[in-house]
Structure 1
C-alpha cells in the first residue's frame, strides 16, 4: 500500500474516532490490517469489536450498566492506540521516508544493550571533563567518536520507539540522570522525545515532556515545553479522551514560569513565519544595496591599512555619509537591527550555505545546543575553542546553535591574524549587546529562557528548511500554528490578557486573519473594548469583508463616539460597498472634527463624484490642491470633473499637466475625449494612440473602456456616427507602426 493511502486512511479513521464513530473506525482499521497480516493486531481488533457489539446490544435493549461509560471510554482510547500501531507498522513496512527506512534497520534494543551503552557514556563522562577534552583533543578523538555514536544510538532509540513502555520510560529517565553528563546530550534526548511524540501519540511520552517542562535547567526545560506545546497542538482533538493529560495541564497552568514560556514560544513561532520574508528581503534588498557600496568602501574605509592595531578603537565617522551614497540603505539597516533585537531570525540567508560541512551529515548535530564540549567541534577547532572569540560567540543570543557551529567551522581556514582581528571586532560588538542584556535581565528575569527557546526554534527552522531529507520529516513551520483555536490552549493560558499579546503580535505582523480570530475570542469576554473592536474591524476590512468590518466599527462608534479614526473607517467601508450617501454622511462628521484633514476633504470629493455631483466635488479637489501643492494625484479628478461640467479649457490644462508628469492609459483616453469635444480630432487621435500603447497594443481593451464613455461623449456633442470612423482610423494608424 502506498504511503499516501496509509496517511489518508489514518486521517479518516482519526476523524471518525473524534466523533465517537467506532464502527466506521473499525472498518478502516480492518482494511489496513488485511494488508498488514498481523495476528496480534487482528486479535485485538476482534476483541474490541466484540466488546463494542455487546455494549451496543445491551444499550439498545435498555439494560443499565454502571460501567458502560468507562467501557465506552476505554474502547475509544484503545481504538486510538490500535490505529496508531497499525499506521506505524504499515508506514515502517512501506514508506520510503528516511525515519521509516531507518526504523527498518534499527531494531528496538534489548535491555542489556542499553545498559552497556549507559556504562559507555558514564565512563566517557567520568573520564573526560571539559579542560581535558580541549587540551588533548587528538588523544581522545576515538573516544569522542564513540561518544557521538552512543548519543546517536540513544537519540534513535528514543526517537524511533513508537510507544514508551515501562522499560523505555525508565531508560529515558536513567539517561537524564547520568552523572557529569553534558547538558547538550540531555537536551538532545528531549528533542528525540519530541520528534517521537510528534510522529506517534503516546500519553506516556507526553507525560515525560510535562515532567521535564519544570526541570531546573533552562535548556532542558525550554525544549520540553516546546515539545509539549507542539504535540498538544497536533493531537488537540484527542485530548478530550485523556483526562489525565488535561489534569496535568491544569496543574502546569498554575506555574507562572511555565505559562510565561508558553506565551513566549507561541509568539516566537508566529515570528518564525517572518523568516522567509526576511530572507527574501536580505537577498533582494539589503545585500544588493551593500554590493552597491563596494566602490565606496575601498576609498572610504582605507582597506590597505585594515590590520593596524587601532582598527577596533573607533567606528568610522564616514559610514553614515557612505550610506548616503546608497539611498535607503540606512533605513534598511536600522530596520534590520530592530528586527534582530526583537529576536527575528535575520541570519537564515547568511548561514543557509554553511550547512554542507561533514558536521551536519550527522543527524543529531542539527539539534545539539552549542557547546565547546562537542567532540566534532573539538576535532575541528582544537585550541581555538579556548579563545575569547569562541567565548563571545557562545554567549551571544543573536545566533542560533546551528549557526554558531557553522560559524566556528567556517573560520577554520582563516589565518590566525584574521581570527584575532575577528575576535576583537566580535567582542567589541557583543560587549555592547552583553551590557544591553544585563540591563534587560533586570527588567526581564526570564531573558535566558526566552533566548534558549528562540534559538532552539531557529535551529528547528534550519532543520525543516535545509536538511537534505527535510521532506521526510514534515515542516511544522508551514502549519498555521493557530494555538488560539486549540482547546488545550485555554487550559494553559486562562488569562485572556495574555491572549491579547498574541493577537496584538499577529496584528503587528499583518497576519490579520489570525489576529481577527483572537480578537473575536477576546470580545466574548470584553465585548465593549473599543480598541479591540477597532482592530477587529480593521482586520476584517483588510480581508475584504467591509460589511463585517462595519459591524465592529459601528459598535466601537456607539461606545466611543466622535473618534475621527473610527468615523473615517466607517465612511470608507460604506464607500467600498457602493453606498456613497452613507459614506458622505460619515465623512461630513469627520470634517466637523478635523476640517483641515486633507484625506477627509479628498474622500468627500470622491463621494460627491460617486453621486455625480461634479461641481461640488470640484470645490473639494481644488481645496486639496491649494493646501497640498505637491499633490499631483488630485489633478486627475480635477481634470475629469472639469470635463464633465463643461470647463473644457480647464480640463485641457490639467490633462496637459498630467501628461507632462506621468499619465496612464486612462489619462490619455480622457485627454483625447476633451480634444474631440473641442473639435480637435487630430489631437484626440494622437491621445488615443498613446492610450492604446499603454494598453500594450490591446485594442479590444481600449474599446471596452472607451464604450463606457460613449454616452458622455454624445452628451458633449460628439457625433455618434463619427465614433466608428475614429476607431477605424485609430486601427489603421496602429497597423502602420
Structure 2
C-alpha cells in the first residue's frame, strides 16, 4: 500500500491525542497538496478548536471540554482517513482503475436505491423460474450478466470508498440483513466492506460488520461478518473511538462468540501453515499414492485405463499384495482427508496453479460465492449442466469458492482430451471425489474455513495483492489477532492458554512467545509458566514458578531439571532427577540424565553403575552407549571406551560429537596421530575453529595432565 509520510505524521499526532499538532501537520500537507474542500473542512475543525482553546485560556472551566475535544479528534481522524485513502487510491494504478469503475458511473449508489435494485433482481429470477426453460434461458443469461456488472461496480465502489456516515452505515446494515436480498450479494458486499475498512479504520463500517454478525440469520453471512470485523479492528485508535471497545465488550460477553474467535484463530494458523502441510502431502502422502497401483475396486482413485493385464504368477507368489497396496493407499488418502477435516488447506498446492485464467484478473471473482449462473463461466456451465460428476463436485466438494471456479474452468479445457469411456463415466457421476456430508457443510467452522481459504488465495496469488493489507502477513503477524490489546482484560484472556498451546503444537514458537507476552500477571498460572519454560523464556525461573504451584508435577520437575543442567548446575539437576526417579524408578531418560549429571560432577563410578545396567538392558541404544563411552573416557578406562566408540562410528553418517569424543579418548590414551585424525574429521564436518577442540573440554584436558606445550603441538598438527 502507498502511504504519505506527511499524512502519517498527522496520524501519529492523533494517536497521541495531540489535536493541535495534528492540525498543524494537516495544514502543512494541504500547503503542498491543495484541495479546496478538504481545506474548508480543516478550517472548520481549526475554528472550533480555536474557540474551545480561547475559552479555556480565559480560565473558564467547561465541563463539556473533554467531550468537545474528543469530538474534534474524531472529526480530524475522519478528515485524515478520507484524505489518506484518496491519496492511496490515486497513487496506485490498480486501485485507481477500481475507483473509476465504481464511482464514475451514472448509477445511484445510495443504499436505499441499491437495496431496491437487488430486491428487484431476486423477484426477476423468481419470475423466470416460472417460465419454460427453452424461453427463459436467454433472459436468464442477460439478467445475470446485468446483475453481475452491477455487483462488480458496487464492490469496487465500496472497496475504494471513504469513511461512511452513520446514516449510510445504518442503511447498509439494513441491506446486508434483509431477507429479500440474495445471500450471495450480501456475502460479496461484506467482503468489500472488510477490504475497505482494513486499510483505514472506519468506525461506521466496523459497527456495521459487528451488527450483521450479531443479527444475521444466514450462517454464511454471519461468518463473513465475523472475519470482517475481526480484521477491521484497530487497537491504536481505541482512544479516539471508545465505541470500538464497547462493541467488543458486548461480543466478548457472549460464550458462542468467544468460542468462534478461538476457532477462527486456530483456522488462521492452519492457513499460514499451508507450506508445511503441502510438504507433508508432497513428501509423505503423494509418494505412497503414486507407488500404489490403481485398483478398480478402490473407492478413491479413478482407474483411467479400461483394462490392465494381470500377471497370474504374481497372484500365486504374492496373493495378498493387491490388498496390502490398496490398504496402504487408503491409509495415505485417509491421512490427507484427516488433515483437511482438522483445518489444513490441502488443496492449495494444486489449485494455486489454476489461477491463471483471465477470470481471476478481477478481484471480485476471488471472493464471489460460487454460482453456475456467473456470466464468465457460462460456456463451461452450459457444456456440463448434465455432468453428474461435475455437479456433485460443485455442490458437495470440499473446496472453497475460488477453487470451484478454477476446477470448472480447467475441466472445460481437459474434458475433450479424455477417452470417450471416461467422459461417459463422469457424465454418470461415477468415480466422484470425496463429498462432504450436507450437515457438515452448514457448520460455522466449515463455512469459515472455506472463506479463509478464498482470502488466503487472494492475498497469496492475486497479481494485485500488494494493493491491500494482508491478514496473512508473516512479518506484521496480522493473522495473530488474539494478541491484540483489545483482547486484554476481557473474558477472552481465559482462552489464551488454549491458543498458545495450539501455537506450540503447530510449532509456531515466535507466535507463542507473542501470546505469552499478552498475559496479565493475574493470568500467569501453571500452564503459563510451563509454556514459557518450554519456549526458552528464562526456563529456570519459569519452571521454578510452575513447581511452586504444583510441587509434585512430573513435567515441571523434568523441565526444571533440564534448565538447571543447561545452566551447568549439575548438583541441583541431580537432585531433581533423583526426585523424578522416585516417581518413575525405571524411566530410562531420567536414569540416563542422572548419570550425565554424575559424570559432570566427576562421580564416575556411580554413573557407570547406572550406565552399565542400561547398556545391558539395551546394548544397541546409541544414547546409552554415547554417555557410557564418555564416562569411561573421563574415568580413564580408555580401552573400554574405544570399543564403544568403534560401535558408534561404524555407521554411514556418524555423529560429529562422537568423532570429537573419540579424539579425546585417543589423546588421553597417548594415541596422538589417531586422535588428530578424529579431530580433523570433526573440524571438516562442523567448520569449527581449531581452538574449539581445546576450549570445549579445557578443564578435563588439563586434569588429564596434558601440558600447554602438548596442547600447542596438537593444534599445530590439526
What TM-score, normalized by structure 1, do the two folds share?
0.82
Matches of 2:22 and 2:711, distance apart in 1: 71
Is 1:618 aligned to residue 617 of structure 2? Answer: no
How far does residue 71 in structure 1 lie from its aligned partner after superposition?
A: 1.0
Tell me, yes or no, if structure 1 residue 103 matches structure 2 residue 99: yes
Q: Which residue of 1 aligns with 2:371?
A: 371
**8 A Cα contact 2:190 2:224, kept in partner:** yes
Kindly report which structure 2 residues correspond to 1:429-578, keeping only aligned pairs within 5 A, or say none.
429-430=434-435, 433-434=436-437, 438=439, 448-478=443-473, 479-489=477-487, 494=491, 496-515=493-512, 524=521, 529=525, 533=526, 535-545=527-537, 547=538, 549-578=539-568
- Mapped partners of 2:189, 2:532: distance in 1: 44
1:705 to 693, 696, 700: 693
| Distance apart, 1:77 and its partner CA | 0.8
CA contact (8 A) 2:577 2:590 kept: yes
What secondary structure is seen at the aligned counterpart in 2 of 1:476? coil
Which residue in 1 is equivalent to 2:666?
675
- 1:57: Cα distance to partner? 4.7
User: 2:44 — aligned with what?
Assistant: 47
Q: Counterpart in 2 of 1:321? A: 324
Partner of residue 237, structure 1: 236
Do the aligned residues in 2 keep the contact of 1:252 with 1:258 (CA within 8 Å)? yes
Q: Give the count of matched residue pairs.
A: 692
Distance 2:374 2:608 in 1: 75
- Tell me the residue number matched to 2:205: 205
SS in 2 for 1:231: coil
Distance 1:23 1:499, change over 3 A: same
Distance in 1 (CA, whole Å) between partners of 2:365 and 2:158 is 16
1:78 and 1:352 mapped to 2: Cα distance? Answer: 44
Q: Distance in 2 between matches of 1:615 and 1:278?
A: 49
Map of 1:650 onto structure 2: 640
Instruction: Please report how far the alpha carbon of residue 454 of structure 1 lies from its aligned counterpart in structure 2 after TM superposition.
Output: 1.4
Cα distance, 1:590 vs structure 2: 0.7
Gaps of 5+ in 2: 308-318
Q: 1:637 aligns with which of 621, 624, 627?
A: 627
CA contact (8 A) 1:359 1:365 kept: yes
Shift of the 319–594 alpha-carbon distance from structure 1 to 2, 3 Å rule, reads: same
Q: Offset at 1:614?
A: 3.2
Q: Does 1:161 align with 2:166?
A: no
Query: How far apart are the structure 1 equivalents of 2:254 and 2:362?
Result: 37
Distance 1:595 1:77, change over 3 A: same
Q: Secondary structure at the match of 1:66?
A: coil
CA distance, structure 2, for counterparts of residue 133 and residue 577 of structure 1: 83
Deviations 1:144-193 (A, max 9, x none): 33322111111122222212347855774686588865321221111112
Higher mean alpha-carbon deviation, 142-151 vs 703-712, is at: 703-712
Task: Output aligned runs, 1:283-322, within 5 Å.
Answer: 283-288=282-287, 290-291=289-290, 293=291, 296-297=293-294, 306-307=305-306, 321-322=324-325
CA-to-aligned-CA distance 1:611-662 (integer Å, 9 cap, x gap):
2333333333323323333311222232222222221211221222222235
Note the C-alpha offset of 1:407.
Answer: 1.7
Alpha-carbon separation, structure 2, partners of 1:303 and 1:482 = 40
**Change beyond 3 A, Cα 1:203–1:720:** closer
Deviations 1:563-614 (A, max 9, x none): 2222111111111222222211211111111111111111112222332333
Alpha-carbon distance change, 678 to 541 in structure 1, aligned in 2, over 3 angstroms: same
1:502-537 per-position Cα deviation (integer Å, ceiling 9, x unaligned) = 34433432334544665676775566x5xxx2x323
- Aligned residue runs from structure 1 range 401-412, under 5 A: 401-412=401-412
- What's the offset of the Cα at 1:305? 8.1
Cα separation, 1, equivalents of 2:541 and 2:251: 38
| Contact 1:512 1:539 (8 Å CA) reproduced | no
The equivalences for 1:206-221 within 5 A come to 206-213=206-213, 214-221=215-222
SS in structure 2 opposite 1:321?
helix
1:735 paired residue number: none
Q: Are 2:564 and 2:572, in contact at CA under 8 Å, matched by a contact in 1?
A: yes
- Residues 252-401 of structure 1 correspond to what in structure 2 (within 5 A)? 252-253=251-252, 257-288=256-287, 290-291=289-290, 293=291, 296-297=293-294, 306-307=305-306, 321-322=324-325, 333-382=333-382, 384-396=384-396, 398-401=398-401
**Residues 464, 475 of structure 1: 8 Å contact kept:** yes
State the alpha-carbon separation in 2 of the partners of residues 398 and 669 from structure 1: 54
2:216 equivalent to 1:226:
no
- The whole-number CA distance in structure 1 between the counterparts of 2:133 and 2:32 is 54
In 2: Cα distance, 1:222 partner to 1:619 partner: 63
- Please say if residues 679 and 693 of structure 2, whose CA atoms lie closer than 8 Å, have aligned partners that are also in contact: no
Tell me which of 412, 425, 447 is aligned to 1:421: 425
Range with bigger deviation, 176-185 or 16-25: 176-185
Is the Cα contact below 8 Å between 1:137 and 1:378 reproduced in 2? Answer: no
Unaligned runs of 5+ in 1: 309-315, 442-446, 732-737
Cα distance change, pair 362–669 in 1 and its aligned pair in 2 (3 A): closer
Counterpart among 48, 73, 76 of residue 73 in structure 2:
76
Structure 1 residues 281 and 619: alpha-carbon distance in aligned structure 2, compared to 1, 3 A threshold: same
> Do the aligned partners of residues 81 and 499 (structure 1) sit closer, same or farther apart at CA in structure 2, a change above 3 Å counting?
same
Kindly provide the CA deviation profile for residues 383-410 of structure 1, in whole angstroms up to 9, marking residues without a partner as x. Answer: 5235443443344372111112212222
Query: Over aligned residue pairs, what C-alpha RMSD do you find?
Result: 3.8
Q: Write the distance in 1 (CA, Å) between the matches of 2:132 and 2:485.
A: 48
Q: Matches of 1:604 and 1:78 in 2, distance apart? A: 68
SS in 1 for 2:370: coil
Contact 1:13–1:25 (CA under 8 A) maintained in structure 2: yes
Which moved further from structure 2: 185-194 or 83-92?
83-92
Specify the alignment match of 2:314 in structure 1.
none
Kindly indicate whether the alpha-carbon contact (under 8 Å) linking 2:101 and 2:156 is maintained by their aligned counterparts in 1.
Answer: no
What pairs with 1:96-175 in structure 2 (closer than 5 Å)?
A: 96-103=92-99, 106-107=102-103, 109=105, 112=108, 124-129=121-126, 137=137, 140-165=140-165, 168-169=168-169, 172=172
Query: Aligned pair in 2 of structure 1 residues 303, 218: CA closer, same or farther (>3 Å)?
Result: closer
Match of 2:595? 605
